[in-house]
Structure 1
Amino acid sequence: MTKPTAKPPTRPQDIDIDVLEDTLSFYIRTINLAVSRDLDQRLEGLEVAKGTGKITTLLLVDDYPGIRPSLIAHMIMRDRSAMGRLIDQMEHQGLIRREVSPEDNRAQELYITEAGAALAEKIREIVPQQSRDFFSFIPQDEQALVIDILRRAYRRIVGMS
């Protein structure tokens, strides 16, 4: 069925987003894009700007010396080839280093470098502040509720619950 011809809208508030209005996935994807753009602006000039997975990888390698790339890939939902490219890039930037596992010479272990550890400390300041600033229009108690819901979803998706 064709919709009646009408004058096209000229303002966002004149748009009806159809079935997307009531879908969580639409809002998650859209908000992800907006949050990522804002975070990239704050991280401009730092090695972890632009792209996804770098911040999580950096923090996990810093927190868990010797962590395997396969576990990080699982946690950030990346395939082996994407994870390999990410590690290559971060190693080239001097943020992490790889070693062959002494238990299994087919496995790699990841370790933070001095530059990587310093960057991780900066990230631990920037990221929470960016989140607070970006979502400042949402009361803290509501943010806590959304975080709880999304944390539970994430933990289920990656098999932590």
Structure 2
Amino acid sequence: MKTAKPKTPPPTLPQDINIDVLEDTLSFYIRTVNLAVSRDLDERLEGLDVAKGTGKITTLLLVDDYPGIRPSVIAHLILKDRSAMGRLLDQMEGHGLIRREISPEDNRAQQLFITEAGTALAVKIREIVPQQSRDFFSFIPEDEQKLVTDILKRAYRRIVGLS
């Protein structure tokens, strides 16, 4: 089982170091943990078409779960602007994971569909991601992980307008 540890030993730091106003800010710790967990996940996904960057896994799973979903819906849920979403979809389409179709209801809108390769990758992702999360945060008891997840889920749902 893999745990979150630095790859290289950190420089010798004074044990009483203080990070100023960041010391008591939730946002600092969320950003720092995000960087570390993203690096760890990218290592586990190495060689897969969803490694590196943000939004590909969520996009893949949403397209798999909601055939015909519009890019604008996904962009809203993953907090991407239109151009960033377009680049992400171009990459995923280039890797043969999704396909775009013009909406029959509105020829200005696109709908997204998963490909066979995308479905196969989604199966792998659904195994890797939960295990990576369990391994990475194994030093935190499960009940505390659930509490933090519940709090962050509430924050996320509010930010994207789901609550």
Distance 1:12 1:154 in 2: 36
- In 2, distance between residues paired with 1:87 and 1:118? 18
RMSD, aligned α-carbons: 1.1
Structure 1 stretches lacking a partner, 5+ long:
1-8
Length-normalised TM-score, structure 1: 0.93
* Counterpart residue number, 1:50: 52
Larger radius of gyration: 1
Task: Give every structure 1 segment of 4 or more consecutive aligned residues whose post-TM-superposition deviation is greater than 6 Å.
Answer: none
1:14-93 to structure 2, matched below 5 A, reads 14-93=16-95
Cα shift at 1:14: 4.2
- C-alpha distance in 2 between matches for 1:141 and 1:74: 30
For this pair of structures, how many residues does the alignment match? Answer: 153
* Corresponding residue of 1:151: 153
Helix, strand or coil: the match of 1:13? Answer: coil
Segments of structure 2 that go 5 or more residues without pairing to the other structure are 1-10
Matched residue SS, 2:50: coil
- SS of aligned partner of 1:127: helix
Which residue number corresponds to residue 113 of structure 1?
115
Q: After superposition, give the CA deviation of every residue in 1:4-62 in whole Å (9 maximum; x if it has no partner).
A: xxxxx931634211111100000000000000000000000000000000000000000
Report the counterpart of residue 4 of structure 2 in structure 1.
Answer: none
Write the distance in 2 (CA, Å) between the matches of 1:143 and 1:14. 27
Letter in 1 for 2:65: D
How far apart are the structure 2 equivalents of 1:107 and 1:15?
53
Q: Equivalences for 1:91-102 in 2 at 5 Å? A: 91-102=93-104
Q: 1:67-90: per-residue Cα shift (whole Å, max 9, x none)?
A: 000000000000000000000010
What do residues 102-152 of structure 1 show as CA deviations (whole Å, max 9, x unaligned)? 000000000000000000000000000000000000000000000000000
Which residue type is aligned with residue 122 of structure 2?
A: A
| In structure 1, distance between residues paired with 2:14 and 2:44 | 26
> What is the TM-score normalised by the length of structure 2?
0.92
CA distance in 2, matches of 1:126, 1:69: 25
